[in-house]
Amino acid sequence: MPINPPNQPFDPATWLNMNLGRRLAWARKHIKVTQVILSQLSGIGQSTITGIEANNRESSKYAAQLAKALDLNLEWLVDGTGQPWGNPNTTADRELTPEMKKLEPETWAILTQMAKQLNLLESTHNKDDNNGKN
C-alpha cells in the first residue's frame, strides 16, 4: 500500500488497514521530517525507527515517544482511529497547517526543541510558584 504524498487526499478509513509503522512513515513524511530528525526528536535510534516503519521491530514500546515527538494522537498512531493531529476542523488548524507544511525539517527540529525548553521552563516556574505558596 503506497503512502500518499502530503498534497494528495488520503482516506482516513485506510488508516485502519495500516499498521503502526505505515502510519508513522505516512505522518513523518506528511510533515517532511526525516528519520534522522525523528530520531533526534524522540531519542529513539534511526535504525529502530527504520525497523518500526518496515514492521520489522516491536513498535508498541516506542509508540508514546514517537507520538510525542511528532505531536501525533497516540490512539491514531497505535490503532488508526481518530485524527493524526488535533481537530482539523478548528480555525487555527486550518490556518496554521499549510504554513507549517512549508517548514524545512531542520526548522521543525529547532521549533520542537524550543517548545520542549519552554515547557521545561514553564514546569520549573510552576514548581517555584507552588513552593513559594507553602
More confident residue, 101 or 55: 55
Is 80 exceeded by the pLDDT of residue 104?
no
Which pLDDT score, from 0 to 100, does residue 123 have? 57
State yes or no: pLDDT of 134 exceeds 60.
no
Query: Model pTM greater than 0.85?
Result: no
Q: How confident is the model at residue 125 (pLDDT cuts 50, 70, 90)?
A: low
Backbone angles phi, psi at 45, to 5 degrees: -60, 145
Of residues 79 and 105, more confidently modeled = 79
CB burial of 82-97 (b: ≥16 within 10 Å; e: otherwise) equals eebbeeeeeeeeeeee
Cβ burial 99-126 (10 Å sphere, 16+ → b, else e): eeeeeebeebbeebeeeeeeeeeeeeee
Q: Which domains does the chain have, with CATH numbers?
A: 12-133 (1.10.260.40)
Cα separation of 75 and 80, whole Å? 7
Written as one string, the DSSP assignment of 44-92 is --HHHHHHHHTT-S--GGGHHHHHHHHT--HHHHHH--S-SSS-TTSHH
